Chain A
Amino acid sequence: MGGRPIMSIEIRSAPHIKGTRTVEQIMRHVVWSLLPVCAFFVFQYGLSALLSLLVVTVSCLLTERFFVRQGGQSGDIGDFSAIITGLLLALSLPPGFPLWMGAVAGIVAIALGKALFGGIGFNVFNPALIGRAFVQAAFPQAIATYTPSFMPGRFYEFIPSSMTLPLMQPVSVVEWLKDRQFDALAGATPLAKWKFEGVLANADDLLTSLSGHMAVGPSPILILLCGAYLAFRRFLDWRIPAAILGSAGLTAWMLFALNDVRFPNPFFMLFSGGLILGAVYMATDMATSPVTPKGMWVYGALIGLLTVIIRYYSGLPEGVMYAILLANAATPLIEKITQPTPFGKGVLSNIGRQKKGASYPLHSGYISREDASAETPKKRFLPNKPKHPPKE
């Protein structure tokens, strides 16, 4: 060849712009952004929360490793995605959730929610929510048992229900709470309190819970801050949380305007329960949310609307999990009906022509998941290539 470079042209379908980000990088950033939320969660609930986070995450990691090794799937625990699943799952569970149930939730999350569909990127539903839905159906009592935050002595002792032996029922926390001068109702979440007793929580209690002993989950303000960082760095699309919170707030506000005795104010709706955590971290999962900008708005609006409807009209106090899972199921349909029109294929050019399925569009929020060093199909054009190589 005499030192002449081989001209190679890469042939592949759109999108053609290739980011340098890898799955592992994206996931690592999400884990970092989750760490402050986890830290505050541990600060609120003490040792039990710490152990719950650890056990659930480790069970997710072990399951992931088992299935990746066993099934020959791509990805491994090194890509941090199982850590995110574990942390989110633990944050969405009560801090005093029995550890063995947490481990079951982690195993189900990865096995049923992810490995079954073919591993990372192929899952239809958010794995953490699959795990949570399973334990919600299997252990409905344990998952509804919250304990107040900022208990004195939370860094020295466990919430008694945490340390339940495997397969055994958790001990009731009512006695334990009575010893510490809390009534049994202190263990209810603000949403359950509103739903079953008609008590509305104060705004400052919901936002930080620094003043009282409300049994709230992870702090909404901190989640919003960490989510803002991720959105700013383009690790998640801001449209999805904005659409969810907007739609939930709007629906709640309209119902509040209709009947302010029966329905709580929209602020309470937005900042109680797991809506913020779900909107920022769970609904924005890249594999299970739409990629089209218009689709993201539809998807988010659907989640917000469903959440409010489930909270108001069903027997459950909380509806974020089912709302997100339902919207996950609707994602392929949403993507299909919100395909943007490629340039030159407007209404006029479509007259008399059969509509063809468009490929995935490129938009500003798109993050390429291609590894920088990945092998792509290449077609090589050799200069002056002899048609019949000389025989030797």
Chain B
Amino acid sequence: MTLTSVTRWDEFMEGIWRQNPLFVMVLGLCPALAVTVSAVNALSMGLATTFVLTCSCVLVSLLRKLIPKEVRIATYIVIIATFVTVVDYLIQAVSLALYDALGAFIQLIVVNCIILGRAEAHASKNPLLPTLINALGMSAGFTIGLFALGSVREILGAGTFFGIPLFGPDFQPWVVMVLPPGGFFVLGAWLLIFAAIARRKQRKLAEATQNA
């Protein structure tokens, strides 16, 4: 492994672990709480966001020298909105049921702060390759986060995983899990777990440096 490949791997992992959009930066909560009722919804929402985030970051990175500083936010929004429209029509064409389940939240990807944040904070300052890697890592982190939320809520709220019943017909659904409060409970639990693991890692690192 060369040095550059290590930093690139780091760049990719940053979105998944250190700067996870959902569990560390706590961004994009609107779709994270609203559409994670089932694992399928969560995963497709994550993939839609992945597409929009990656494409718009790449385009922003390519155009970064052409975009005037004064109107950059408006330009980013136009770029993001273009890709959101693409995804919107795509999902409508592939599965109307999924489109109905996700509802307005597909269009609302436009205002997802992760995308605008990444475009402003990273893509507008970096060349193509690092931007692509970073955007892919970020979207992977976001998708993993949504999926983690969606699977717990689906397993407890309906007793199924991707529509497959896990516990048989006598399962008692936890009604609260498919309601909005359930989203907050599960998100809170995941935040707790993430924070606990991060703290343990930090402590181990500190001990290791002390001993070394």
Residues of chain A whose beta carbon lies under 8 Å from any beta carbon of chain B: 98, 101, 112, 134, 137-140, 142, 164-165, 167-170
A139 and B172 contact, CB distance less than 8 A? yes
CB distance from A97 to the nearest CB of B (A): 12
Q: Can you sample 12 A-B contacts with CB below 8 Å?
A: A101-B172, A137-B175, A137-B181, A138-B174, A138-B175, A138-B177, A139-B174, A167-B159, A167-B172, A168-B170, A168-B171, A169-B171
B171 and A138 contact, CB distance less than 8 A? no
Please, which residues of chain A bring their CB within 8 A of the CB of B179?
A: 137
B176 interfacial contact with A, CB 8 Å: yes
For B170, give its contact among A138, A140, A169 (CB under 8 Å): A169
B176 and A169 contact, CB distance less than 8 A? no
Please, which residues of chain A bring their CB within 8 A of the CB of B170?
A: 165, 168-169
Q: How far is the CA of A167 from the CA of B185 in the complex (A)?
A: 18
For A134, give its contact among B159, B167, B171, B176 (CB under 8 Å): B176
In the A-B complex, the 3 residue pairs with the closest CB atoms: A137-B176, A138-B176, A169-B172
Q: How far is the CA of A164 from the CA of B167 in the complex (A)?
A: 14
Please, which residues of chain B bring their CB within 8 A of the CB of A139?
A: 172, 174-175
Most buried by A among B159, B174, B177: B174
Please, which residues of chain A bring their CB within 8 A of the CB of B167?
A: 167-168
For A170, give its contact among B172, B174, B176, B185 (CB under 8 Å): B172
The chain A residue sitting closest to B174, CB to CB, is: A138
Please, which residues of chain B bring their CB within 8 A of the CB of A137?
A: 175-176, 179, 181
Contacts between the two chains (Cβ within 8 Å), count: 31
Number of interface residues of B (CB under 8 A): 12
Q: How far is the CA of A96 from the CA of B63 in the complex (A)?
A: 67
Please, which residues of chain A bring their CB within 8 A of the CB of B176?
A: 134, 137-138
CB distance from A65 to the nearest CB of B (A): 18
| Additional 9 contacts, C-beta under 8 A, given A139-B174, A168-B172 | A101-B172, A134-B176, A137-B175, A137-B176, A137-B179, A138-B176, A138-B177, A140-B175, A168-B171
Q: How far is the CA of A13 from the CA of B53 in the complex (A)?
A: 56
Q: How far is the CA of A138 from the CA of B173 in the complex (A)?
A: 8
Q: How far is the CA of A229 from the CA of B179 in the complex (A)?
A: 42
Please, which residues of chain B bring their CB within 8 A of the CB of A134?
A: 176
Please, which residues of chain B bring their CB within 8 A of the CB of A164?
A: 172
Please, which residues of chain B bring their CB within 8 A of the CB of A138?
A: 174-177
Q: How far is the CA of A101 from the CA of B174 in the complex (A)?
A: 10
Q: How far is the CA of A373 from the CA of B164 in the complex (A)?
A: 59
B175 and A167 contact, CB distance less than 8 A? no
Q: How far is the CA of A278 from the CA of B170 in the complex (A)?
A: 34
Restricting to B12-56, which residues have a CB under 8 Å from any CB of A? none
B171 and A167 contact, CB distance less than 8 A? yes
Q: How far is the CA of A140 from the CA of B179 in the complex (A)?
A: 13
Q: How far is the CA of A137 from the CA of B171 in the complex (A)?
A: 17
> What 1/0 flags go to B156-191 for Cβ under 8 Å of A?
000100000001001110111101010001000000
Q: How far is the CA of A134 from the CA of B182 in the complex (A)?
A: 10
The chain B residue sitting closest to A142, CB to CB, is: B172
Restricting to B131-174, which residues have a CB under 8 Å from any CB of A? 159, 167, 170-172, 174
CB distance from A115 to the nearest CB of B (A): 11
The chain B residue sitting closest to A170, CB to CB, is: B172
Q: How far is the CA of A255 from the CA of B56 in the complex (A)?
A: 62
CB distance from A140 to the nearest CB of B (A): 6
CB distance from B167 to the nearest CB of A (A): 6
Q: How far is the CA of A134 from the CA of B167 in the complex (A)?
A: 22
Q: How far is the CA of A348 from the CA of B159 in the complex (A)?
A: 67
Please, which residues of chain B bring their CB within 8 A of the CB of A165?
A: 170
Most buried by B among A98, A137, A139, A142: A137
CB distance from A73 to the nearest CB of B (A): 15
The chain A residue sitting closest to B177, CB to CB, is: A138
CB distance from A253 to the nearest CB of B (A): 35
Please, which residues of chain A bring their CB within 8 A of the CB of B175?
A: 137-140
Q: How far is the CA of A169 from the CA of B167 in the complex (A)?
A: 11
Please, which residues of chain A bring their CB within 8 A of the CB of B174?
A: 138-139
Q: How far is the CA of A173 from the CA of B16 in the complex (A)?
A: 49
